[in-house]
Amino acid sequence: MSGPRILGAAAAGVAAGTLLGFYVLAPNIEGGPGGDDQGLQDELSAAVAEQTRSAAELDADDAVLGPLAADAVRGDLDGRSVLVVTAGTVTDELLDAQRALLDAAGAENAGTLRLSDSALSQDRADALKSLATSTLPAGAQLSEDRRDPGYHLGQLLGQALRTGDDQDEEATVADRDLVLGSLDKGGFLQDGIPDLTSADAVVVLTDGTTGYAGSFVADLAAGLDDTTGGVVLAGDRSSTDDGAAVAVLRDDRADTEQVSTVDNVDRVAGRITVVRALDQQLSGDAGSYGAAENAAAPTL
């Protein structure tokens, strides 16, 4: 998918939204629709038409790329185990589509962990921090310099689910059971205790929720990255709204140099890029991909 086409769709959406708000919220101000300003009416119609055309083009891109996606990533993650974590409103359809590409890339399925709304609630922050401290696997540590609840949870999960390497021992089943059981008992898991295995890397799927929840998910991704082989944080364009997870992470230069982000995971091209970015992560590289202005490169 070309960068200009994606950017064109986004720009048309912003223009249409701005003009629509002008008509709906201020119909009687000077120059508004109550003033019979035909020029503004024409501009609104043109913006809506452009948005419709751009959406149709993106749908056409998906139709073309869909059958080719599996071959595009074939073998990229052979022998690597990948955990998927969801935070916020992530549909089963999106989750299944991303997992299908991970499977096609040869990744071993380490399972899916779906965090509940309680995990993203500031009201439960102290309870979550206490849980992270009390359920640490033997030999594991939490950062003393960065004490955000999301970051500590990410570090906890990373160390409870890590694979072994020259520096660290692989997490045990008992480690995982203690952490996951405690999270479930505290109401922090959406679908009960999942069946997870140790993971080399993690994909965090998120939405456009802002505020504390957006910062929490950005911190979560950074904490996971600190304790695993690599993390890709992925959402749709709304995840780059001010205060949403991808935007928060991209605003932090240190985290951006470590964690990869993709802002159009709702499109086939974005899901392909998630796989490729994960492969990069496991090689020690990071990038910011997608259609938003704060993306460093387009997808694909």
**pLDDT tens across 70-118, in order?**
999 999 999 999 999 999 999 999 999 999 999 999 999 999 999 999 9
Do the beta carbons of residue 101 and residue 73 sit within 8 Å? yes
Is the overall model pTM greater than 0.85, yes or no?
A: no
Do the beta carbons of residue 267 and residue 282 sit within 8 Å? no
Instruction: Indicate if the alpha-carbon torsion angle 281, 287, 290, 292 is positive or negative.
Output: positive
178 is written with which tokens?
Answer: 């203690």
Find the radius of gyration of the CA atoms of the chain. 21
One-letter amino acid for residue 222 of the chain: A
Across the strands, what pairs with 202? 83, 231
Across the strands, what pairs with 82? 109, 201
One-letter amino acid for residue 228 of the chain: T
Backbone region of residue 235 per phi and psi (left: phi > 0; alpha: psi in -120 to 50; beta: other values):
beta
d(CA 247, CA 263): 9
Query: Predicted confidence band at 167 (pLDDT cuts at 50, 70, 90)?
Result: low
Do the beta carbons of residue 84 and residue 113 sit within 8 Å? yes
**pLDDT tens across 84-93, in order?**
999 999 999 9
Q: Strand, helix or coil at 171?
A: coil
pLDDT at 203 over 90: yes
d(CA 197, CA 173): 8
Mean of the pLDDT values across residues 217-238?
Answer: 97
Sheet order of strands, 201-205 included:
108-114, 81-86, 201-205, 231-234, 260-262, 288-289
d(CA 271, CA 76): 13
pLDDT at 24 over 60: no
**pLDDT tens across 131-162, in order?**
999 999 888 999 999 999 999 999 999 999 98
